[in-house]
């Protein structure tokens, strides 16, 4: 694995570990040499590197004006691939490597904001609310989860609201399943929606936003499934070396780059983190990630090699 010049890699120590909710812990990280960490904006995440092939992404949820620490929250996923379990085993004074930060979920200018969070999806939303509230723009938050005991940062959310009625906390154990059509209505036109949480919630938010004409941005923790797609072989030409790689229908572009000893930064291998983005010089990518915006996809100038393929017989990469 190689690291591009723009990628920050650093060792940090865990200076605090806090139980937040059922199966959720917060880690506060500080550089081992106590130098400032790179600045970040609301919506950003870092890679937590816990060993060879064990890299996971976590949203930064602390104070973005604090240059010395990063704060992340981790939900233990029993049916996951082991990353969250390993992260839960980190304790105070442990040292771990981080990469980033990167931001594929940035705030955009808007007259008003509606935030919809599900469970651990509250983590990127909290810094967004702080930023929006600091400049005096109107906002409201709908925060959903299984039960209050499973929902992290409830006290912090209440503090942000300051009893002004802008926060609706709706655990399903008390309210049942919330209907998104009652959350997002036509009277909200002019507001921008930001949502993070389970895939089912995000699909509902995206569908309803489109129905009522709202601009909507979402962040997923898992890739979407592409159904009924037949994969075809193609050729990836590496511009810097002139090498042509044949990509079979049953192998990914990333697989073949690794087999050819081409250094590519990787992490999630699911199309959700953006680590493996590579510039495209010629050809049309078949985008299958959940990171790139519609505008970025239309530009045809980049590809996430872990999941995406080529619509043209040959695609030329700036590698």
Q: Check pLDDT > 50 for residue 29.
A: yes
Q: How far apart are CA 174 and CA 151, in angstroms?
A: 13
Position 228 in a domain: no
What is the pTM assigned to this prediction?
0.77
Question: Do residues 55 and 138 both lie within one domain?
Answer: no
Return the higher-pLDDT residue of 265 and 128.
128
Q: Which of 160, 192, 219 is the last residue before a domain boundary?
A: 219
Across the range 294-299, mean pLDDT stands at: 85
The structural domain count of the chain equals 3
Cβ count near 199 (within 10 Å):
16
Residues 207 and 117 in one domain: yes
Q: At 239, which CATH number?
A: 3.10.20.30
Statement to judge: residues 116 and 208 lie in one domain = yes
229 domain-assigned? no
Residue 314 makes CB contacts below 8 A (sequence gap 6+) with 234, 235, 236, 237, 244, 282, 283
pLDDT digits (tens, 9 = 90+) for 178-201: 889 889 987 788 899 999 998 889
Which of the listed residues 219, 250, 269 is the one where a domain comes to its end?
Answer: 219
Residues 208 and 149 in one domain: yes
pLDDT per residue over 79-100, tens digit each?
A: 555 567 788 889 999 999 999 8
116 and 215 part of one domain: yes
Residue 127 DSSP SS3: helix
- For residue 45, the enclosing domain spans 9-101
Instruction: Reply yes or no on whether the pLDDT at 115 is more than 90.
Output: yes
Complete DSSP assignment for 255-319: HHHHHTT-----S-SSSSS-TTEEEEEES-EE---SSS-HHHHHHT-EEETTT-EESSSEEEE--
Whether residues 213 and 166 share a domain: the answer is yes
């Amino acid at each position: 694995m190689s690291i591009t010049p723009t990628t920050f890699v650093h060792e940090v120590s865990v200076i605090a570990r806090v139980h937040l909710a059922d199966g959720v812990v917060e880690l506060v990280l500080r550089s081992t040499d106590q130098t400032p960490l790179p600045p970040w904006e609301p919506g950003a995440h870092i890679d937590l590197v816990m060993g060879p092939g064990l890299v996971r992404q976590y949203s930064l949820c602390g104070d973005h004006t604090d240059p010395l620490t990063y704060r992340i929250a981790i939900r233990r996923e029993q049916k996951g691939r082991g990353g969250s379990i390993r992260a839960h085993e980190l304790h105070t004074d442990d040292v771990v490597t981080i990469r980033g930060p990167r931001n594929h979920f940035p705030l955009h200018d808007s007259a008003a904001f509606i935030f919809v969070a599900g469970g651990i999806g509250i983590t990127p939303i909290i810094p967004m609310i702080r930023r929006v509230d600091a400049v005096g723009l109107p906002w409201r938050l709908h925060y959903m989860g299984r039960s209050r005991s499973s929902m992290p940062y409830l006290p912090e959310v209440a503090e942000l609201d300051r009893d002004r009625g802008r926060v609706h906390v709706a655990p399903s154990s008390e309210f049942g399943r919330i209907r998104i059509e009652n959350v997002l209505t036509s009277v909200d036109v002019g507001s921008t929606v930001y949502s993070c949480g389970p895939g089912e919630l995000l699909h509902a938010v995206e569908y309803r936003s489109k129905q009522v004409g709202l601009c909507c941005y979402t962040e997923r923790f898992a890739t979407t499934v592409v159904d009924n797609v037949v994969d075809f072989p193609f050729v990836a030409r590496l511009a810097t070396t002139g090498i042509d790689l044949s990509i079979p229908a049953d192998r990914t572009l990333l697989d073949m780059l690794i087999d050819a000893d081409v250094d590519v930064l990787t992490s999630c291998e699911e199309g959700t983190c953006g680590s493996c983005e590579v510039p495209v010089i010629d050809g049309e990518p078949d985008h299958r990630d959940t990171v790139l915006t519609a505008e970025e996809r239309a530009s045809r100038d980049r590809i996430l090699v872990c999941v995406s393929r080529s619509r043209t017989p040959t695609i030329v990469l700036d590698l």
